[in-house]
Amino acid sequence: MDHGPYVLHEFGEVAEAYYRQHLGWLTAAVHSSIPWPQEDVRVHYDGDDYFLRGIRERNGHKGGPAITMRCTRGERNTVLGKIYRFASILGWYKRGYVDIGGYMEGSHPMLYSDGVETSTVLASSPHGFDCNYLPLLRDEQARRALAFWREGSRLRHLHAGYAFLSFFKVIESQFEVAAKRVSWIGAAIPQLANETGMRFREAGKQISELAEQGLDIGRHIYESGRCAIAHAQFSDGRGDPDVAEDRVRLGRELAIVEALACKYIEEVLKVPTEMDVYRKRNRLDPLRSCVPAAQWDALVEGRHMSRRRFGLNGARVSFARWPSAPVAQFSDLRVRTTSVRNGVVTLRAINQAETIDVEFFLDFPKGKAHIKPYQSIYTRPVRSDFVEDAVAGAQFRKEVIGNGRMELWLLDGGRMDFEVFIPTNIDFVGTFRNLDAEIESLRRLQADSPESTLERPDSSQHLD
């Protein structure tokens, strides 16, 4: 399964403005282990709007997480089904869980929560919540597996036995013939025993302990776990909630069946997590409409190309910090290609007045894009003309150096995100202090001087 498309996010008052436009809403309480937004955020995913209700304090009370959707008469079950599916993929994608509790319908999008006590509520930064490239659930087998995964992930913190059963259902739901399920589990268990990653380490430990007892681990997991919990047919204490030793055993062996479920979703169904998408997604894909296929292939292979022939040369673009739209000063910049070497294209984006000049490069072999903040300059006015350009330029540099998520916006609606800039050997406090002083100085100049001449500073100015 591939990653999904770019997802529109709107925060705070922009999201809340939609509540006044319609009557008929449903709010479902959320139980979650992932960081939840502080402000309400509208997420437009797979053709629908999901409003994640922020956990900020309102009227003296801090609410729990919730998801709201539009819901007209007779649509309750359809809307709840969409929320369930959205919660399943969101929890998996974020490597945690998002599960749904009770719900409330009304003409207005009322706040409703019953998840405060059983959620690990971590607040993201005001605009920090992000589910960009969330995979689209088109496969019924994947949908079912993620539904049981969602259920098991939450139950893991409430009841080990029922969590065990839910995780087993992730696999059981995928096979119509039991023998095929047995065969897959039999092949997967030795692989888990040799895994060294943190996610499977505990499972490997438990598998080793059971192997030392001479048990057929697949059969043991099925009979002493799945069947004992589901049917209560054993007289030796297996699956009996009052037998302390068995509850401890199930708690330990839960790691095995959870790892098996995770392995199936990852390796067979190939549903990516956010980290998978980060590692594998080609950042440059939105540029395919601008770069001819032959050029693209040549650049990926690192072959020579004339910089003037590069497809993006001469294009008009804008720069923005996610999730905001571009400010006026960073809209409608003209791109100039300055070099092409070994598949790496270096470019500059310059405004019409040539008071803003952003240098960036596209690494086609690696599928990544980077801004060069030390080479991105702006013209500092001696007087008031172009002060807004200079202020925006200083703020842009501050945002890049401060690890802001920057985007390139194309005229066709495509948006390409840059790698977050990780500076080295830099005094953040001093650099930000100098940039803030620069902005304050520019504001004073704007207030005091009606006329101007222009001065272009050194590109490394204001960096410590």
The separation between the first and the last C-alpha atoms of the chain, rounded to the nearest angstrom, is 45
Give the pairing type, strands 35-36 and 122-123: parallel
Query: Do residues 58 and 152 share a domain?
Result: no
pLDDT at residue 383 tops 80? no
364 vs 458 pLDDT, higher one: 364
From 277, 306, 331, the end of a domain falls on: 277
* pLDDT tens-digit readout, 410-435: 999 999 999 998 877 778 788 888 88
**Does residue 168 belong to any structural domain of this protein?**
yes
How many domains does one find in the chain? 3
Query: Do residues 425 and 298 share a domain?
Result: yes
Q: Report the predicted TM-score, pTM, of the whole model to 2 decimal places.
A: 0.88
* pLDDT tens-digit readout, 31-86: 999 999 989 999 999 999 999 999 887 877 777 899 999 999 999 999 999 999 99
Query: Do residues 311 and 443 share a domain?
Result: yes
**Phi, psi for residue 128 in degrees, rounded to 5:** -85, -20
CA distance 234 to 242: 13
* Percentage above 70 pLDDT, the chain: 91
Half-sphere exposure of 85 (CA within 13 A, CB side): 19
* pLDDT tens-digit readout, 194-248: 887 888 989 999 999 999 999 999 999 988 888 888 887 666 767 778 888 888 8
Q: Which amino acid is at 154?
A: R
From 257, 277, 297, the end of a domain falls on: 277
Highest mean pLDDT of the ranges 94-103, 245-254, 370-379: 94-103
**Does residue 133 belong to any structural domain of this protein?**
no
Query: Do residues 106 and 195 share a domain?
Result: no
408-to-78, 287, 370 alpha-carbon distances in Å: 37, 10, 11
* pLDDT tens-digit readout, 270-312: 999 999 999 999 999 999 999 999 999 999 999 988 898 899 9
Query: Do residues 309 and 251 share a domain?
Result: no
Closest CA to 7 of 57, 40, 51, 42: 42
Query: Do residues 30 and 103 share a domain?
Result: yes
Query: Do residues 118 and 41 share a domain?
Result: yes
Domain of 59 in residue numbering reads as 8-123
* Percentage above 90 pLDDT, the chain: 64
**Does residue 1 belong to any structural domain of this protein?**
no
Structure token digits, residue 369: 């894009």
